[in-house]
Amino acid sequence: MSDASFEEQTRAIQKLIQTADFNQAIAVSDSYLEQVKSTAHKVEILYLKAVACRYKKDNEHAHKTLQQLIKLADNHPRSYQEQGYLYLADQKADLAKFSFEKAVKLNPSLVASWQELIELYRKSNDAEYVQHAANQLAKLKSLPPALLAVTEFMNDGKLIKAEQICRQFLQNNKRNVDGMCLLAEIGIELKIYDDAEFLLTTALELEPEHIHARSLFLNLSLKLGKYKKAQELVLKLLAQQPENVSFMVAKANVLAGLGQVNEAIALFDNVITVGHKNPEFYLQHGHALKASGNITAAVEAYQNAYKINPKFGDAYWSLANTKTYRFSDTEVTQMEKHVGLTDQLLQDKIQMLFAFGKAKEDNKEFAEAFEAYRSGNALQKQYSGFNIENVERQIDHQIKYCDSALFEKRSHVGNPCKDPIFIVGLPRAGSTLLEQILASHSQVDGTMELHQILGLASKLRGRAKVDNSAQQQELDEDVYPRNLHKLEDTYFQRFGEQFIEETKVYRESAPLFIDKMPNNFLHLGLIKLILPNAKIIDARRSPMACCFSGFKQLFAEGQEFSYDLEDIGRYYNGYLKLMAHWKAVLPDFILTVNHEDVVDDLEKEVRRLLDFCGLEFEPACLEFHKTKRNIKTPSSEQVRQPIYKSATEQWRYFEPYLSDLKRVLDID
């Protein structure tokens, strides 16, 4: 069923409800439910049916309909608002309050839910909550109707509709900062970061003291790894509101991002000591402690987070993500209970499923472990919108346009600086180990997964369009990487200088430094043009081990191919195809290092690695696990231990469930 015909059907049901023909609205809803296959469409029809049942005063069927809906989509805000109305009618005030609170947590722009909460809080004499709800309601009512509609569409996940309304509003209200902030938020959700940065910069030029605009810009800068900009923003926010605890925590995260982890930990300690026992604060505190190598204190922080909120999935996943933590029987029981609850928020459920999978794997219950990983990945993919064909098309474009002729024509147009060493490949392929080995050398600084190359590629590509038509694909192809043939030589020099300048903040005093962003393998042609003397290390691992390790890892963001076994296999194949191309057109630019070879003969591979980078051998590189430095990747605890071989064949415990992956990888 097309979106157009679905909208026509929902309008028909809405009209029946508006004309009080509730029986017919219910009958039409049931008829449509038999026809539609899309989960999203079923959810919307079930919602309308529940509304019709409530108006008909058939609360029993309304409750049952909402239960069906929540089973399909437990993050649908209006279903909880509707549930709140039903509990009010049933004279169950506490349950009504809980439902309305859930509704506004999922969609803070639901005016009706805030209105009901104010009355419920008044009846229970919760003055502080009354004030909070009243403030939220006043803020919403102060928005122009168009922007209120935008917030509702945004929180319902209808971003394209929200964007259309917001842009139309701004055409007539060009200096409206609230509108700019909303459009920036939409841009962030759609990953159109350039637009969002431009909008927020403009908003702050118009209203330099606008706290919300600056706070949004801060969060965006943190997301993009632009910690120097984030530092500038958070210091201004704290100057405006020195007692704002959220800004203090943001400052701690900025310090951690800048490598000043001990200062970050001290700030977290201070925030928590003075009584701000928020589970999210404990979580961030734990991340900083983990990065510093204090895993015992990190574990305690994560446990404190779930003790405050037992449903806090990120706390359990963060424990699992240390890779060394073993869950107690009590914790496993707790997770098993929460993943089965219908009122568990989707992201918490996903995080808990991955943690539960890790617990079951540690207990050698591999069938249950795989089912937990599979379920978590399926939920994550359902809401990611990822399409592997877009990546495959991107790879084909790189091969088509980044040919030998380009590099012959553009040889040595970039910045001649020899400082950067890029480690690329797939996540979970051993790149953190190679980084730790190199960072143990006196001439090399380890940094982190830097965002600069991905950001530059995004700028060269221009704004992505929400359109998969053949015509649009042709337009996208015409931009990046094709435009690398058309840019003036001076641009490549400038881009190289910009990279070196922007990354200084992450370096110490060594002459060389590492950028470990794995996805940079897609842009090695661009790197060669802007930094022709850089070194590229291709971290590679056997396909089954690499792909399955990625499948059971819940990444913070940016690795959406990992949520499906077929997708991850196709991504791996695409990576091999592109790396073969880069090696053909850029000989001597790339060194491939196989993880299994490093495990089998560490010294041989270390010497090979150092020789490629033009470095003298240093014994410290063999004792990499003794090097004290901040590490933020999932492998942080593993590389603080000597080499071990146990992980290389771990995937075989799950081999009975990996037929789809083996088929795509063409492995017998």
Q: CATH number, domain at 607?
A: 3.40.50.300
Among 110, 142, 174, which residue terminates a domain? Answer: 142
pLDDT band at 20 (very low <50, low <70, confident <90, very high): very high
Is 552 among the domain residues? yes
Instruction: Encode pLDDT of 297-353 as tens digits.
Output: 999 999 999 999 999 999 999 999 998 999 999 999 999 998 877 667 788 999 999
Apex 320 CA angle, 314 and 325, nearest 5: 135
Give the position of tokens 């399955």: 548
The pTM of this model reads 0.76
Q: CA 373 to CA 272: how far, in whole Å?
A: 33
pLDDT band at 265 (very low <50, low <70, confident <90, very high): very high
pLDDT band at 644 (very low <50, low <70, confident <90, very high): low
* Helices and strands, counts by H and E, the chain: 34, 5
Is 654 among the domain residues? yes
Is 362 among the domain residues? no
Is 596 among the domain residues? yes
**Which residues are 423's β-sheet partners?**
537
CATH number of domain containing 26: 1.25.40.10
Among 92, 109, 142, which residue terminates a domain? Answer: 142
Q: Does residue 635 surpass a pLDDT of 50? A: no
Q: Report the C-alpha dihedral over residues 463, 466, 467, 471, rounded to 10 degrees.
A: -10
Note whether 302 and 282 are within 8 A (CB): yes
Q: What's the confidence (pLDDT) of residue 475?
A: 47
Instruction: Encode pLDDT of 72-105 as tens digits.
Output: 887 889 999 999 999 999 999 989 999 999 899 8
Domains held by the chain: number: 2
Is 353 among the domain residues? no
Note whether 103 and 77 are within 8 A (CB): yes
Is 257 among the domain residues? no
Q: Does residue 617 surpass a pLDDT of 90? A: yes
DSSP string for 452-490: HHHHHHHHHH-PPPS---HHHHHHHHTTTTGGGGTS-HH
Is 343 among the domain residues? no
Q: What's the confidence (pLDDT) of residue 637?
A: 47
Tell me what the pLDDT averaged over the chain comes to.
89
Is 15 among the domain residues? yes
Q: What's the confidence (pLDDT) of residue 647?
A: 62
Instruction: Encode pLDDT of 226-238 as tens digits.
Output: 888 999 999 999 9
**Which residues are 420's β-sheet partners?**
513
* Half-sphere exposure (Cβ direction) of 566: Cα atoms closer than 13 Å: 7
Q: What's the confidence (pLDDT) of residue 640?
A: 47
Among 142, 160, 175, which residue terminates a domain? Answer: 142
Backbone angles phi, psi at 559, to 5 degrees: -125, 55
- Domain region containing 615: 388-665
